[in-house]
Structure 1
Amino acid sequence: MSALDYSNDPKRGPHPLIVRKDAPYNAEPDITDLVKNYITPEEYFFCRNHGPLPDITESKHLIEIQGIGIENPTHISLKDIKENYEKSSVMMVMQCAGNRRDGLHKVKHTKGVIWGPGALGNAVYSGCRLRDVLATVGVTTKIKNLSKLHVAFESVEQCEEDKCYGSSIPLSKALDEFGDVLLAYEMNYSTLTRDHGFPIRVVVPGYIGGRSVKYLKSITIQDYESMSYYQRRDYKILPENVLDEDSANNYWCKVPSIGEYNVQSYVCNPADGMHEAAIANQKVQGYALSGGGRSIQRVDVSGDDGKTWTTAQLYQPAAEGDNCRVWGWCLWTATIPTKRNVRIVSRAVDSSGNVQQEYPVWNYRGVMNNSWRTVDPHTIEMSNI
């Protein structure tokens, strides 16, 4: 593995993010800051990087498009994208699959950046629809064997594994009229910054953030998933008997890659979900979300470890009107009685009836933790984990 040079990363002064790793730079906001805004300002938006940040000149950057159904590989510039394709915007939660890994790490050792509950944010991304770009090179829903094809994305970003970052999604998602997959060049109506993928990134609503490839270099239509390390050997829920890399090697090719994220909620204020004294009317705030375009139907909040529940008030503008899919999150508030040194917990139910689970499903990569709370392994029965 060659040494990576981080000397050209942006110079970062004092900021409100909690740094989880310096190189590559990974940081998340304090969760009380996270729920102050429905649209997450960049200053409170988590940063997930796998290597040094590319320093790309927009006017010189080209994206190669190739593969099945494309007669001749072609290159497209940012100028082409901005001038020749209709601009579209989508509000969506970008959530790392490792969000809340710290809870699983308290159960048993996990591999990865030890994220707290702030590795997500709700933003408006703007750019062109990927399906529009693919249509101009002949790739439409009429393509043969659509259900078996994938669209792979490769990044300029060089990673710790000495490879470029890459990932893929089903082609059917990319071509879905309601899939809202974008080639985005703006975030919250401003030009993308280097931390968030300048000059252009893929945005895949309802999927884990790892599929929304930054610093996009190429798009390939193929009949297999991306061969990238991050598609084949990462972001998978491995069986609980997998405890290290040696045992993981027996399962990487057997376990499916994660696409949509699961139903999720978390108590953000009070930050530790706990009070030293009993309070009759404690105001509680948090977030909730679900993947696949599913809205949040209900959030229940408990101040007595799940014995009794109060239904929270939901703030979910993304679900208003005639939307057939909801990519944005839900912020919620509740006023509940709390007990001394008893953690406040929440559970969400989405529009498909999926219910957030009480206990975590531990896995070696520490992904997709959507349990009610951070778990102390000394105080719960672990047999069902």
Structure 2
Amino acid sequence: MSSSTLDYSQDPKRPQYDLIIRKDKPFNAEPHIQDLVKHYITPEKYMFVRSHGPVPMHLNDSHSITIHGGINTKQFTVQQLKTQFKKAHVMMAMQCAGNRRDGLHRVKHTKGVIWGAAAVGNTTFAGCRLRDVLHAVGVVSFKNDLHVAFESVEQCEETNCYGSSIPLCKALDEFGDVLLAYEMNGKPLTRDHGYPLRVVVPGYIGARSVKYLKSIIVQDHESTSYFQQRDYKLLPANVDCEKEAEEYWCKVPSIGEFNVQSFVCYPPPTQNDHDMNKFILSQGYALSGGGRGIQRVDVSNDNGETWQVAKLYQPSLTTSAHIWGWCLWTIQLEYKGYPIVCRAVDSAGNVQQEYPVWNYRGVLNNSWRTVNL
């Protein structure tokens, strides 16, 4: 759908946000990188906003979602989900798959919103477990070839509405913590963040956490949505345009979990040398997908010749079997005139790769550059 035919006149006002606007219509914005590590739980004013079209305005607690669970089809209003199912909580890092796209865009033209390194945040969500809702419609076991597809009411620039899917095994996992969320950070979802109901999929790229949920379908294939089949996939490095990509869309899998990564948030890359003290407290974030925590973050102030181990802050909810939240790190360093760089290791021993693999749209293989470009 062309952006010229979409009506943005009813989008919410956003005076409370202290964000860098990366695109006005649809609204896409992220915080200043140094603000990102001021809080372990990211407040709404510093939480990035990813939109594909106008923010739906007609939704409330009477909004209903349809669930197709094979032979059973049921409808629940948001209010029924709140009252008929046990409330659960999850603390998780939400990250746009295009986070840090600006690094590639400096050396190679990319499609999509040109994000910095702050299209990520760590929040708490509350809602009912998707697992419980699927059980209520008779979906109690899974086969490895089944998927749960989500459809949104959000009209998009690229297609009629937003859609995505995850494997059914993730949705039914007792420890997968997938929610149909109606609260963020202890308050009702705002319109920018999915009011009145969204999916949240811990450990997966944000593209799978569908906002403004309309329907859930259990099926024997991935979502046929544009955003599952023709976006958020890793194509060979030689693919440079849409025409060359045609051969590969049906051959490569969609991105699900993200890999281990880290970034230096302070000092920010825009800070001048003459503003630096001899000793500085450097700060940043690290995270990994799949419920893996961060084991170590190494930091270098001499162009990678030597590395020092940073101090980590990574509390987790005691009710969760996995660590879905991010890790904040700090270290006192002598400033030597080089960019400060970092690398992370997660609890499975996966080491952050030094160079990223990109597709032509600037979506990362979640193996990240360790420097502030």
Q: Which residue of 2 aligns with 1:151?
A: 148
1:362 counterpart = 2:364? no
Displacement after TM superposition at 1:323 (Å): 5.0
1:326 corresponds to which of 323, 327, 340: 323
* 1:312-369 Cα distance to aligned partner (Å, 9 max, x none): 0000012x768531000000000122222x2111100000111111122232121235
Residue aligning to 1:297 = 295
**Whole-Å separation in 2 of the counterparts to 1:34 and 1:322:** 26
Aligned in 2, Cα 1:323/1:202: closer, same or farther, shift over 3 Å? closer
Distance 2:323 2:192 in 1: 26
What letter is aligned with 1:244?
A: C
1:135 aligns with 2:135: yes
Asked if residue 183 in structure 1 is aligned to residue 185 in structure 2, the reply is no
Q: How many residues align?
A: 368
Residue type matched to 1:345 in 2?
Answer: V
Cα deviation for residue 163 of structure 1 reads 1.4
Q: Deviations over 1:71-98 (max 9, x none)?
A: 2321111111011100000000000011
> Residue 192 of structure 1 corresponds to which residue in structure 2?
189
Q: How does 1:236-275 map to 2 (within 5 A)?
A: 236-272=233-269
Residue 223 (structure 2) pairs with residue 221 (structure 1): no
Whole-Å separation in 2 of the counterparts to 1:41 and 1:193? 12
Change over 3 Å in CA distance of 1:165–1:247 after alignment to 2: same
Match of residue 348 from structure 1: 344
| Other-structure match for 2:114 | 114
Aligned in 2, Cα 1:140/1:358: closer, same or farther, shift over 3 Å? same
Q: Distance in 2 between matches of 1:44 and 1:359?
A: 28
In the alignment, is the contact (CA less than 8 A) between 1:265 and 1:287 conserved in 2? yes
1:162 equivalenced with 2:159 (yes/no) = yes
Deviation of the 1:57 alpha carbon: 3.1
One-letter code of the match for 2:258? Answer: Y
Q: 1:52 to 1:148 in 2, by over 3 A?
A: same
Between the aligned partners of 1:362 and 1:212, the Cα distance in structure 2 is: 22
Which residue of structure 2 lines up, in the alignment, with residue 75 of structure 1? 75
Question: How big is the alpha-carbon RMSD for the aligned residues of Structure 1 and Structure 2?
Answer: 1.6
Q: Displacement of 1:274 after TM fit?
A: 6.3
TM-superposition CA deviations, 1:138-195 (whole Å, max 9, x none): 0012x4xx11100000000000023110000000000000000000000000000000
* Counterparts in 2 of 1:64 and 1:140: CA distance versus 1, 3 Å: same
Secondary structure of 2:195 counterpart? coil
Which residue, out of 38, 42, 45, partners 1:43?
A: 45
Q: Give the C-alpha shift of residue 279 in structure 1.
A: 5.3
- Residue-by-residue CA offset, 1:14-37 (whole Å, 9 max, x unaligned): 731000000000000001111000
5+ residue gaps, structure 2: none
Residues 360, 279 of structure 1: CA spacing in aligned structure 2 closer, same or farther, 3 A cutoff? farther
Give, in whole Å, the separation in 1 of the partners of 2:355 and 2:370: 7
Q: Which amino acid aligns with 1:161?
A: E
Return the match for 2:200 from 179, 200, 203.
Answer: 203
Partner of 2:85: 85
1:177 aligns to what SS in structure 2?
coil
Give the distance between the partners of 1:274 and 1:53, measured in 2 at CA.
35
Shift in Å, 1:63: 0.3
8 Å CA contact retained: 2:88, 2:128? yes
| Structure 2 CA distance for aligned equivalents of residues 79 and 12 of structure 1 | 26
- C-alpha distance in structure 2 between counterparts of 1:156 and 1:244, whole Å: 30
The 8 Å contact of residues 56 and 199 in structure 1, kept in 2 or not, is answered as no
Contact kept? 2:72, 2:138, Cα under 8 Å: no
Letter in 2 for 1:75: Q
- Report the residue type matching 1:265 in the other structure: S
Distance 2:87 2:318 in 1: 21
Q: Is the 8 A contact 2:69 2:137 kept in 1?
A: no
Instruction: Give the letter for the 2:24 counterpart.
Output: D
Aligned 8 A contact 1:104 1:360 in 2: no
Moved more, 298-307 or 359-368: 359-368
